[in-house]
């Protein structure tokens, strides 16, 4: 089974997984690159997984469905390119011999979902869309800080080895912000150097892992004393409550340069 992030637009990834014959793709914002990738490898597209409704994640769905006849699976409570199989928390999707659990993760959008396979050739696999990024998290377009923090907490509870397959190459900008929050975090410093090397070679920084994110991602570290203090230094009205800390961090990140 081969996992590969197919670049799209300026900083999107369309995650692909195949077994040498059949493939799945996640959040295809465009179709041409996916069709070329399938043709080059002589693969049949089996399933399209969608995490949320934004156009850079759904724009290629109709053309791919028409060209390949692939099954489309997406969130139950968001506007989607019909027809598709709609799923919500507690349900699962079987594809390529893997069972993906559906996890509801509202915050970036109101009905955002993630797909989690506990058994994927020995290492769990998470397709999390724009909820969790390496070193960061998605903007709150439709949800509240409390919702997003709850969603991130749910993802952080997954096994440490879980591969985190998010859909944007935002890692270096996220790590710049993370280092402003925790300048003395040695894990963060080492990871930043690694990601800088990856990008200098035009390699992806992803996938990350849940275990790594819990050590370096400030949005998963809202109970850490260093993160709390940085948030309160930036916005004195911040309390020690995790939602308050998260809200300050997210607002700060929105305008961080």
Residues taking part in catalysis: 52, 54, 56-57, 108, 130, 168
Number of other residues whose CB lies within 10 A of the CB of residue 235: 15
**What's the CA gap between 34 and 187, in Å, rounded?**
35
Edge-to-edge strands, sheet with 92-95: 92-95, 98-104, 113-117, 125-129, 163-166, 208-209
Output the CA torsion sign for 223, 226, 228, 230: negative
| DSSP string for 59-75 | TTHHHHHHHH--EEEEE
Contact (CB, 8 A) for 114 and 229: no
DSSP β-bridge partners for residue 225 = none
Contact (CB, 8 A) for 51 and 128: yes
Residue 77 token pair: 């409570």
Residue 86 falls in which region: left (phi positive, over 0), alpha (psi -120 to 50) or beta: beta
């Amino acid at each position: 089974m081969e996992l590969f992030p197919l670049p799209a637009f300026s900083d999107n990834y369309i995650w692909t997984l195949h077994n040498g014959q059949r493939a799945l793709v996640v959040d295809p914002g465009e179709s041409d690159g996916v069709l070329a990738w399938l043709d080059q490898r002589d693969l049949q597209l089996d399933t399209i997984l969608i995490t949320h409704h934004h156009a850079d994640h759904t724009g290629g769905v109709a053309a791919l469905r028409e060209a390949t006849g692939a099954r489309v699976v997406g969130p139950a409570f968001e506007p989607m390119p019909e027809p598709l199989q709609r799923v919500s928390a507690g349900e699962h999707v079987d594809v390529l011999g893997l069972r993906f659990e559906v996890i509801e993760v509202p915050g970036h959008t109101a009905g955002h979902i993630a797909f989690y396979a506990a058994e994927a050739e020995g290492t769990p696999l998470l397709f999390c869309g724009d909820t969790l990024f390496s070193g960061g998290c998605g903007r709150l377009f439709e949800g509240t800080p409390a919702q997003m923090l709850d969603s991130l907490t749910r993802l952080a509870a997954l096994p440490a080895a879980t591969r985190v397959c998010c859909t944007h190459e935002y890692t270096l900008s996220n790590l710049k912000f993370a280092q402003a929050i925790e300048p003395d975090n040695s894990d963060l410093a080492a990871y930043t150097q690694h990601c800088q090397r990856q990008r200098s070679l035009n390699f992806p920084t992803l996938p990350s892992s849940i275990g790594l994110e819990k050590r370096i991602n400030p949005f998963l570290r809202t109970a850490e004393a260093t993160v709390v203090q940085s948030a309160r230094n930036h916005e004195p009205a911040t309390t020690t409550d995790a939602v308050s800390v998260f809200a300050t961090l997210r607002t700060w990140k929105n305008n961080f340069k």
